[in-house]
């Protein structure tokens, strides 16, 4: 999937006067993103890359909980779109391919963004984002923008005219750094699926329509990455190339668009936060006849989450012509030979993680039990905010937390044994530090659906207290019945 110039994007220009409402919304956006970023670092989801050396230009590392969330999303995607379908197979291809691939695909000629440079400080920016920066680095769209040229966000200097900048990362293969050994890190996962089409077809004997899926890293030398993990130079894609007859493309396009919405529903992303953008003809990628961007209401604005494109037979035809290989499909019943057309649903892994975090992040005001029962006055209520990640249970990094009421050996020992027993069936965490209330709050913040408390009564009645993350309701469950109880709750 390619990046396009954003003629349709709007700018918040530095020399425009924002209304009080716009200023208030900007502060709210910054505050919401700051809270999510802070939570991610504080709880081990996402860290700044190379932080002890001052970081590196929008580089991010997934921590212990972040990698679990990310892997859960990828595994669920693979299960839904590959393992549970008979018409899709997977591959895992090399990051560095023969440079001729990128010449045939059109990336060397067309994979670019508009670049401008400040004549005063010589900073470089994407031309379509000039004027969008606010103090903490987020990009906030302003639909009323009139200044299309903009000024340098750093020093207010004059900018050069825009020129095209190719975003492919160059490298050299072998000991000599010369043109003969130049290669590129792939900017998308799609091309390897086209290049491997012939091998996949011969080994799997699939019939049209069928697809090839891949999850993997891609690299784009973005001019101005930003908005946390939304736009980075190294990212991961989950992508499908679905091969069809040309006459079926409209039906297949709508069918795959519906499948993408089913996936987003599984991730817990509300449909009211999603919008389909029909990409205008003049902004389509060089390979596309139709593209729909599925946009999500991120805190920093409505931005592309996923995309689906009708790539026609552009890729296979170009690779057949450039390589000399026969990439036609033969219908064994009619002996018809043709180049298949392609529907491409594209899912960004990192943007999936970000959308899930934004959707799940919740702040709730807790009313003290005494007030809820009619005691005290309204003025007696103190601000007690509970932060909770209401993640879908299937992708939560930790599904069950085992919490002994105290660190005393008579509780911690049997509680730890229970933890080891549950590990075989669930993603579990054992925690005996701090008060039980603080441990509940920590588990709320990392999205753990159920907390199991082993208390002194557990020694007598052989039961534990199970606390629900979303409702905070507590049930007393016999230890012997706990595993089945949790399976019913988590798996259904």
- List the single range of 68-72, 103-107, 236-240, 392-396 with lowest mean pLDDT: 103-107
| Integer Cα distance of 117 and 161 in angstroms | 8
Chain position carrying tokens 């925690």: 431
Mean pLDDT, the chain, rounded, equals 86
What tens digit of pLDDT does each residue of 155-214 get? 888 877 776 666 788 889 988 888 888 898 899 999 999 999 999 999 999 999 999 999
Burial track 238-259 (b if 16+ CB lie within 10 A, e otherwise) = bbbbbbbeeeebeebbeebbeb
DSSP states of 339-353: PPEEEEEEEEHHHHH
| Integer Cα distance of 10 and 22 in angstroms | 14
Residue 7 confidence (pLDDT): 32
Residue 459 confidence (pLDDT): 97
pTM of this structure: 0.84
Average pLDDT on 334-347 reads 97
Q: Smallest Cα–Cα separation from 28: which of 363, 322, 326, 283?
A: 363
| Integer Cα distance of 49 and 52 in angstroms | 9
Bridge partner residues of 62 (DSSP):
46
| Integer Cα distance of 277 and 254 in angstroms | 14
Look at residue 360 and tell me whether its pLDDT is greater than 60: yes
Residue 389 confidence (pLDDT): 98
- List the single range of 3-17, 121-135, 158-172, 179-193 with lowest mean pLDDT: 3-17
Average pLDDT on 353-377 reads 75
Cα end-to-end span (Å), the chain: 36
DSSP H or E segment with residue 257:
helix 249-266
DSSP states of 84-153: T-SSEEE----SEE-THHHHHHTHHHH-EEEEEEBTTT--EEEGGGTT-B-TTS-B---TT---SS---T
Q: How open is the CA angle 187-189-195, to the nearest 5 degrees?
A: 110
Residue 17 confidence (pLDDT): 38
Share of the chain above pLDDT 90, in %: 68
CB atoms within 10 A of CB 163: 11
Cis bond before residue 209 (omega within 30° of 0): yes
What tens digit of pLDDT does each residue of 390-426 get? 999 999 999 999 999 999 999 999 999 999 999 999 9
Residue 226 confidence (pLDDT): 76
434 pLDDT tier (thresholds 50, 70, 90): very high
Residue 384 confidence (pLDDT): 83
Average pLDDT on 261-270 reads 98
Length of the chain: 492
- List the single range of 49-58, 148-157, 389-398 with lowest mean pLDDT: 148-157
Kindly list the structural domains of the chain, giving each domain's residue range(s) and its CATH number in brackets, ordered by start: 20-359 (3.30.930.10), 393-490 (3.40.50.800)
Look at residue 137 and tell me whether its pLDDT is greater than 90: no
Look at residue 2 and tell me whether its pLDDT is greater than 70: no
Q: How open is the CA angle 382-384-388, to the nearest 5 degrees?
A: 165
- List the single range of 101-105, 208-212, 250-254 with lowest mean pLDDT: 101-105
Residue 18 confidence (pLDDT): 41
Q: Is 230 left (phi over 0), alpha (psi -120 to 50) or beta?
A: alpha
Average pLDDT on 56-63 reads 90
Bridge partner residues of 63 (DSSP):
none
């Amino acid at each position: 999937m390619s990046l396009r110039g954003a003629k349709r994007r709007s700018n918040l220009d530095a020399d425009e006067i924002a209304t009080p409402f716009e200023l208030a919304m900007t502060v709210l956006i910054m505050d919401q993103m700051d809270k999510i970023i802070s939570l991610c670092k504080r709880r081990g989801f996402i860290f700044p890359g190379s932080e002890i050396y001052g970081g590196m230009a929008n580089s991010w590392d997934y921590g212990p909980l972040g990698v679990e969330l990310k892997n859960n999303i990828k595994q669920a995607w693979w299960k839904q779109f590959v393992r549970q379908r008979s018409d899709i197979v997977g591959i895992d291809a090399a990051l560095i391919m023969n440079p001729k691939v990128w010449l045939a695909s059109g990336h060397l000629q067309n994979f670019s963004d508009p670049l401008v440079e400040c004549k005063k400080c010589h900073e470089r920016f994407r031309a379509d984002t000039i004027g969008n920066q606010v103090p903490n680095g987020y990009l906030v769209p302003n639909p009323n923008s009139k200044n299309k040229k903009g000024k340098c966000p750093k020093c207010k200097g004059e900018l050069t005219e825009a020129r095209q900048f190719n975003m492919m990362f160059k490298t050299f293969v072998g000991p000599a750094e010369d043109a003969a050994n130049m290669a590129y890190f792939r900017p998308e996962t799609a091309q390897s699926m086209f290049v491997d089409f012939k091998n996949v077809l011969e080994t799997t004997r699939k019939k049209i329509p069928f697809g090839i899926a891949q999850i993997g890293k891609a690299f784009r030398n973005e001019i101005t990455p930003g908005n946390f993990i939304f736009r980075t130079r190294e990212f991961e894609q989950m992508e499908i190339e679905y091969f069809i007859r040309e006459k079926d493309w409209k039906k297949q396009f709508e069918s795959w668009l519906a499948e993408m919405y089913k996936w987003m529903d599984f991730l817990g992303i509300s449909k009211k936060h999603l919008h389909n953008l029909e990409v205008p003809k003049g902004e389509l990628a060089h390979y596309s006849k139709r593209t729909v961007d599925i946009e999500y209401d991120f805190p920093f604005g409505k931005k592309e989450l996923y995309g689906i494109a009708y790539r026609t037979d552009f890729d296979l035809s170009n690779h057949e012509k450039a390589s000399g290989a026969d990439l036609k499909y033969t219908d064994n019943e009619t002996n018809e030979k043709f180049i298949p057309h392609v529907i491409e649903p594209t899912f960004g892994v990192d943007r999936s993680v970000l959308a899930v975090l934004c959707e799940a992040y919740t702040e709730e005001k807790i009313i003290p039990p005494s007030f809820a029962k009619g005691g005290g006055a309204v003025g007696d209520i103190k601000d007690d905010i509970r932060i909770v990640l209401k993640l879908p249970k299937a992708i939560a990094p930790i599904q069950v937390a085992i919490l002994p009421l105290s660190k005393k050996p008579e509780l911690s020992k049997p509680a730890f044994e229970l933890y080891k027993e549950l590990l075989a069936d669930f993603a579990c965490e054992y925690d005996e530090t701090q008060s039980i209330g603080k441990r509940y709050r920590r588990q709320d913040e990392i999205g753990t659906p159920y907390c199991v408390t082993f208390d002194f009564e557990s020694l007598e009645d052989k039961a534990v207290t199970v606390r629900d993350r979303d409702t905070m309701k507590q049930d007393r469950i016999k230890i012997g019945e706990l595993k089945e109880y949790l399976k019913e709750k988590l798996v259904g």
